[in-house]
Amino acid sequence: MKKTLFLVCLLCMGMLMPATTSAKKKDIAFQMYSVRTLIGDAGKFAENGDRVLKELADYGYTAIEAANYGDGKLYGLSPEDFKAKIEAAGLKVLSSHTGRNLNGEELKTRDFSNALKWWDECISAHKRAGFKYIVIPSIGIPKTLKDAQTICDFFNEIGRRAKAEGIGVGFHNHTAEFQKIEGKVFFDYILENTNPEYFFLQMDVYWATRAGASPVEYFKKYPKRFRLLHIKDYAEIGQSGMVGFDAIFNNAEKAGLEHLIVEMEHATEPDIMAGMKVSANYLSNAKFVKGTYAK
């Protein structure tokens, strides 16, 4: 009788006590460009940043990829203040889309000196803000392979300088990079003529698919070159059915994936924030997406 009463008491205590464990979030970053209408510049960020960042953290996002660097500042803030603002929302500073590409004269003369001065300042600011990666978001498509090689040499030098400061540098594609230059696909040329020690590719899986390329085939052909992936669809992740996300994540090891980043440009939901929530839920619930890919 005493034993039975003791067990009943334990059961009751278990029912009354609050749960002490909860499911751990998956590591899912978001590209801040996705919510540019709310926090896309210094003024909007100052007005809405705290609320929007906290809401996205509540949806399940764990880190940010910035998209507003200039003159040593991020969204109008010093690198240190930006880092503090992101971390106060419960998020991590991960990566940043920014860049200073070669102009026509620099491409012709192969003189990178002025561009590299800009990059040295950029790398220093991003180091102070705690970024792990800088991603060049786009570049004009060169007309010749000679110019393509100049661009790759420039990429390698940026990457070498950034690595010395503990930051990785990469390039983000759209569809144009899959066109041919003198018979060679420009995206392939970048992969084959940049040094993996200094430079990686951030594949935007939606734009690659739209260009008629297979992300998985690229992972197999160029293993370990894709440290970051833009997980993207026409609208919410998984909404269009045209991107094979299960195959992409099942081949993440071949890709060399370290972090996934959600980017949205459209939403079928009432607003972009609702769409961001749907995308976070999709990845959080997808069994083929691991909790983390960080090395």
- CB-based contact 177:141 (threshold 8 Å): yes
How confident is the model at residue 295, as a pLDDT?
A: 85
Residue 186's H or E segment, with its range, is: helix 186-193
pTM of the model: 0.91
Residue 265 and residue 233: Cα distance in Å, rounded?
A: 9
pLDDT of residue 23: 58
3-state helix, strand, coil in the chain (%, to 5): 50, 15, 35
Sequential pLDDT tens for the chain (295 residues): 444 444 444 344 443 333 333 457 999 999 999 999 999 999 999 999 999 999 999 999 999 999 999 999 999 999 999 999 999 999 999 999 999 999 999 999 999 999 999 999 999 999 999 999 999 999 999 999 999 999 999 999 999 999 999 999 999 999 999 999 999 999 999 999 999 999 999 999 999 999 999 999 999 999 999 999 999 999 999 999 999 999 999 999 999 999 999 999 999 988 999 999 999 999 999 999 999 999 8
Using a 10 angstrom Cβ sphere, with 0-12 exposed, 13-18 middle and 19 or more buried, the burial of residue 21 is exposed
Cα distances (angstroms) measured from residue 147 to each of 141, 142, 143, 181, 223: 9, 6, 7, 10, 25
DSSP 8-state secondary structure symbol assigned to residue 30: E
Domain boundaries, the chain: 26-285
Structure tokens at 197: 């020690």
- Going 245 to 139 to 75 to 226, the CA torsion angle's sign is positive
For the chain, how big is the Rg over CA atoms in Å? 22
Instruction: Name every residue whose Cβ is closer than 8 Å to that of residue 90 and which is 6 or more positions away in sequence.
Output: 54, 57
d(CA 255, CA 215): 9
pLDDT of residue 24: 78
Inter-residue contact 266 to 233 (CB < 8 Å): no
The confidence score (pLDDT) of residue 281 equals: 98
> 247: closest CA among 218, 284, 282, 288?
288
Angle separating helix axes 79-88 and 113-129, nearest 10 degrees = 40
- CA dihedral in degrees (224, 227, 228, 232; nearest 10)? 10
Helix 186-193 and helix 145-164: axis angle, to 10°?
Answer: 50
DSSP sequence for 196-245: TTTEEEEEEHHHHHHTT--HHHHHHHSTT--SEEEE--SSSTTSSS-S-H
In this prediction, residue 83 carries a pLDDT of 98
Q: Kindly give the interhelix angle for 42-59 and 272-285, rounded to the nearest 10 degrees.
A: 30
Fold classified for 26-285: TIM Barrel (3.20.20)
